[in-house]
A and B are shown apart, each in its own frame.
Chain A
Amino acid sequence: MSSSSSHPISGPPLLADLPLLAGLAVLVAVLAGASLMIGEVAVPISGLFADGDSTAAIIMQEIRLPRVLLALAIGGTLGLAGAALQGLLRNPLAEPGIIGASSSAALGAVIVLYFGLFNLFPLALPLAAIAGAVIAIALLFALAGRDPSVLTLILAGIALSSLAGALISLAINLSPDALSASEIVFWLLGSLKDRSMDHFYLSLPFMAAGALLLLTSGRALDALTLGEDMASTLGFDLKRVRVQLIAGTALAVGAGVAVAGVVGFVGLVVPHLLRPFVGHEPRRLLLASTFGGAALLLAADIGVRLIPTNVEMKPGVLTALVGAPFFLFLIFKVRRSMA
């Protein structure tokens, strides 16, 4: 009687989700194309490949391309980090911000803004933000002790987040004039506008390293479905898994915050939307959420340019405006299912 029934899901895990991933990839490609085409002036897409100093080439290659690439990379890593953290914490309400990486990265950037250090060299701001995220992670593990439980990690993360938030408020509070205060506030809102390819090249290695750490943790996340004891006895060193996931999240999210400010809710919402399509399996969710996050941030970044406002909206504001009600909806759903 064994193995008489046929199973579509065998072989490489990727194969099972090929239709879903292909669909998401097409969506990402369409959105990326649209994002390149949208702007104050109409520029043919051929400008992407034109060389020289033509207006079309400059607009495409130096203004719109970095914007699209950053939306892809940052959205992708946010979606991925959200899926990974929800798997690690076995909690659908977890979010990359919960471990304090994004607020600490923001603090690093705010320090540079406050002291005017960005005049030293152009990439001082993103570098300080990445340093902020890395220091936060080191502190997180120092605070949580040698064998951190998930609970102590979350508590330490919340403490770090609050501290970074308080210091950011202090910087705004002590700003000598309204202009420098609004500079900080505007940066914190997050934007993909006016970023250069240098920003992309600077953040890419960190995001790629973080993404690699997260993407290779899938089996452990699957095992954690049965709880920590069972995951250990299925062959996973949970101490190592936690370090891998927290460090991966910090690198990926910290680098994203460094160049685009804080973009919320992508890491929370995307894994939720996609979970039913991958049978709720944590490992299969990782790659799907990467594509989904890229699509969502691209869409938000298109949205802010299409919605007619006096001043262009920030994508982080849009994702939060859409994300917060969704979060409430999730809470109601969880409450209903628990009742």
Chain B
Amino acid sequence: MSLLNANGLTVIRSGTTILQEAGLSLADGEIVGLIGPNGAGKTTLLRCLVNLINPDRGGVHLNGRPVTALSRPEIAREVAYLAQNAGVHWPMSVERIVGLGRLPHSSTFRGLGRRDWTVIERVLEETDIVHLRDRQALTLSGGERIRMLLASALAVEAPILLADEPISGLDPGHQLQIMQLLKDLARRGRSVVVVLHDLTLALRYCDRIVLMAEGRVVADDEAAGVLTEERLARVYGIEAQILGDGGSRIVVPIGPAQPPARPSEAPTGKRSA
């Protein structure tokens, strides 16, 4: 049975349809890449999954129950969420920010206990920020900050992790490290949805890819099946080549698709697949 199941999600805001009949299901132990051009509705879909947005139509079920019927703490213990462009508002230390991920397991009169610190230590190591633990969070570089925020999402230890562009702005080494970490989490039985713009990494690390365009899910299949040169041309408006085979395939964008679309409206034009 799938842990998380969204069906027919339609979100209309100020007359604009942001999501149209979008759906996604997530099973135990899989890592799903959510890809698509800017403005395709990826973030809106993720926000629906954690009940941050109430869709106009359609619904989300978590472990068989509608998310709207679950309390915030109940959702928090099941689903960890890393928002895109999440920021930090006070100059707290890195380890205390990471410790915020333990809030779903705390109570008003209890601070961080021994078990919490064990988890914090582990996620600091996993995201390679042990050396930054005493640094003031506002002084981190963009990449360091993303790793810190990912660490706090990991510290929740929820069965499901939804990460909105967790590797944008990271150097290649840390991109690979974080993707490997997410994949390892999935291998250990957790379920991960990760929004990505790097198609090669999506192809290499994700069990499944969900491709979105203009608010719809246009493809949802095992990774290699989704990313075809023909589909990239249609959805992203680019001419791309997929080279290599097996685990070492790469996606190389060559240029705008024919006929050339103007950069400002690259993905628009045709209705979905």
Contacts and interface: CB of A to CB of B under 8 A. Distances in A.
B156 interface: yes
Contacts of B122: 2
Contact of A234 (B96, B101, B121): B101
Interface stretch (A57-65, A219-227, A294-302, A325-333): A219-227
A230 interface: yes
B111 A1 contact: no
Interface in A192-228: 216, 218-219, 222-227
Contacts of A222: 100, 103
Interface string A217-256: 0110011111101101111110000000000000000000
Nearest to A234: B103
Nearest to B50: A233
B83 to A, nearest CB: 5
A93 to B, nearest CB: 13
Nearest to B162: A233
A218 B103 CA distance: 11
B177 interface: no
B44 interface: no
B3 interface: no
Interface in B71-121: 71-73, 75-77, 79-81, 83, 86-93, 96-97, 100-101, 103-104, 106-114, 116-118, 121
Nearest to A229: B83
A310 interface: no
Given A2-B118, A3-B121, A279-B92, A225 B97 contact: yes
Given A1-B121, A3-B118, A226-B97, A234 B87 contact: no
B152 interface: yes
Nearest to A285: B90
B176 interface: no
Interface in B60-76: 71-73, 75-76
B81 A233 contact: yes
A225 B77 CA distance: 19
Contacts of A335: none
Interface in B152-201: 152, 156
Interface stretch (A5-13, A44-52, A258-266): A5-13
B111 A234 contact: no
Contacts of A90: 89-90
Given A226-B149, A233-B75, A9 B111 contact: yes
Nearest to A223: B103
Between B108, B118, B156, the greatest number of chain A beta carbons within 10 A of the residue's beta carbon is seen for B108
B160 to A, nearest CB: 11
Contacts of A223: 100, 103
Given A232-B72, A237-B72, A226 B113 contact: no
Contact of A12 (B47, B87, B111): B111
B140 interface: no
A218 B50 CA distance: 23
B230 interface: no
Contacts of A237: 71-72
A11 B88 contact: no
A219 B106 CA distance: 9
Contact of A281 (B96, B101, B116, B125): B96
A98 B197 CA distance: 42
B128 to A, nearest CB: 13
Given A226-B149, A235-B104, A10 B114 contact: yes
A10 B121 contact: no
A230 B103 CA distance: 11
Nearest to B122: A2
B76 A229 contact: no
Nearest to B90: A280
A138 interface: no
A282 interface: yes
A225 B103 contact: no
A229 B52 contact: yes
B83 A236 contact: no
A235 B111 contact: no
A295 to B, nearest CB: 23
A321 interface: no
A306 interface: no
Contact of A280 (B92, B107, B109): B92
Contacts of B118: 2-3
Contacts of B112: 7, 9-10
Contacts of B116: 10
A322 interface: no
A16 interface: yes
Contacts of B75: 233, 235
18 contacts: A1-B121, A2-B118, A3-B114, A3-B117, A10-B116, A11-B113, A12-B109, A12-B110, A13-B111, A219-B107, A222-B103, A226-B88, A227-B87, A229-B47, A233-B52, A235-B77, A275-B90, A279-B92
Interface of B: 47, 50, 52, 71-73, 75-77, 79-81, 83, 86-93, 96-97, 100-101, 103-104, 106-114, 116-118, 121-122, 125, 149, 152, 156
Given A226-B88, A226-B89, 16 more contacts: A2-B121, A7-B117, A12-B110, A218-B108, A219-B106, A225-B90, A225-B97, A229-B83, A232-B50, A233-B76, A233-B79, A233-B81, A234-B100, A235-B73, A280-B90, A281-B96
Interface of A: 1-5, 7, 9-13, 15-16, 90, 216, 218-219, 222-227, 229-230, 232-237, 275, 279-282
Closest 8 CB pairs of A and B: A235-B76, A233-B81, A13-B111, A235-B73, A90-B89, A280-B90, A235-B104, A2-B121
